[in-house]
Amino acid sequence: MFKHLLLPTDGSPASNDAIQAGIQFAKSERAQVTGVYVMPEFHVMTYRVDMVEDTKSQFAEDCRAHADRYLGVIQEAANTSGVTCHTASTTSDHPFEAIIKTAEERGCDLIVMASHGRRGVRGLLLGSETLKVLTHSKTPVLVYR
């Protein structure tokens, strides 16, 4: 039924669990996967502690290292399971938009994402990238809890 799954990652344990489930689902469907990591854009004025002391080039280097590490988890899981895998990284302040765009550009027919389970005020203030993908994507989304 599904032939190409998009597996977004943020490197979290919940995301890694969703990746493992997505890889196994892809294997059962004989589908390929594309892993994607969305890097934040650099801003001089920011509330993010990881940007306060960095130069733009240092921040970009750190983001690339995170992307390589997080996408490597997807590539390794796919290789172990015998699933064809491609990876992509992109930069955006709105990860949900980048995830949806990647799914469209790569011809993915399912997005498999983790639910991080933020509730209450934290969920309201921080929002949920998964919820945003669910509400804005034309591509079906499978949420892994």
Structure tokens at 50: 């990881």
CATH number of 4-144: 3.40.50.620
Task: List per-residue pLDDT tens for the chain, 145 residues long.
Answer: 999 999 999 999 999 999 999 999 999 999 999 999 999 998 766 555 555 566 888 989 999 999 999 999 999 999 999 999 999 999 999 999 999 999 999 999 999 999 875 555 555 544 589 999 999 999 999 999 8
CB contact at 8 A, 34 and 6: yes
pTM of the model: 0.89
Strand order in the sheet with 141-144: 85-91, 32-39, 4-9, 110-114, 141-144
In Å, the largest CA–CA distance within the chain is 48
Q: Which of 13, 64, 74, 12 is nearest to 39 (CA)?
A: 64
